[in-house]
Amino acid sequence: MLYNSWYVTEFDVNFDNQAAAARKAAELGVELFVMDDGWFGVRDDDHSGLGDWTVDRRKFPAGLGPLIEYVNSLGMEFGIWVEPEMVNVRSELYARHPDWVYHFPNRPRSEGRNQLVLNFGREDVQDFVLDFMHDLLSQNNIHFVKWDMNRSFSEPGYPEAEPGRERELWVRHVQGLYRIFAELRQAHPQVMFESCSSGGGRIVVLHGLHLALEDASGLTHALGQRGELGGTEQQQDDDEQDPQVRTGEQVTHNIPLSRA
């Protein structure tokens, strides 16, 4: 059973409030504590920072190490949230590489959730993601990664593609994604990867080759799920799925025991 910080602190994460949440999680018997969005870049809300995958030293002056050590001291493993396929316009990454997003040269770039989609068909984008993920997982005792994807595609242009092959971006994106997962799994076999897409917006059979857990739904009320503990996620097996993939369901509302 894991505990996710999002519904407790949202973007306002720091050592003190995450340590307090971890203590509550440990009291519930949680095995895995996951810190969600807000730990990187200048990320105080969803308007900026996405794509700048370095620890926000305003919130964690000594890096993630002290928090991870504290979580481990409570008998839990530590996990973290990322959304590598996306970027905010207000980020250092976009300022350096505006050409890395899907776009058509003569059309406006439509933002969804204040973000754009990185072109995972480009090898340089794949290499960027692999570099920062390798650093994150090599430098910290992380055992779980929640890999999120919170918006759909728009302006699916690929100006750098060879003439006549622009529409291959749909296949190239998935191939790039699977290359990244494969290399990360090989280099960091101790890490479990979860796919989340505003809940279960992207559940792909072949993810089972690379991912251990799929987030089945964004519905978090206990009456709509099969769990009871507020703020926790239960992992469940499904005989009809790829046997390598388990679904996870997040629960944030308690229900009276008489209705359980």
CATH number, position 76 = 3.20.20.70
Expressed as residue numbers, the domain containing 63 is 2-259
Chain-centroid distance of CA 80 in Å reads 7
**Cβ–Cβ contacts within 10 Å for residue 81, how many?**
22
pTM (predicted TM-score) = 0.83
Out of 94-98, 181-185, 226-230, pick the least confident.
226-230
pLDDT score, position 142? 98
Number of domains in the chain: 1
- pLDDT band for position 203 (50/70/90)? low
Position 36 scores a pLDDT of 97
Question: What would the mean pLDDT of 153-161 be, rounded to a whole number?
Answer: 91
Reported as a pLDDT band with limits 50, 70 and 90, residue 166 is confident
Whole-number Å distance between alpha carbons of 117 and 109: 10
Please give the Cα distance from 209 to 185 (Å, whole number).
10
Give the model's confidence band at 71: pLDDT under 50 very low, under 70 low, under 90 confident, else very high.
Answer: very high
Quick one: pLDDT band at residue 150, thresholds 50, 70, 90?
Answer: confident
| Highest averaged pLDDT of the listed ranges 83-92, 161-170, 199-208 | 83-92
Q: Which helix (H) or strand (E) holds 2?
A: strand 2-4
Q: Quick one: 74 exposed, middle or buried, by C-beta within 10 A (0-12, 13-18, 19+)?
A: middle
Q: Is the pLDDT of residue 171 over 50?
A: yes
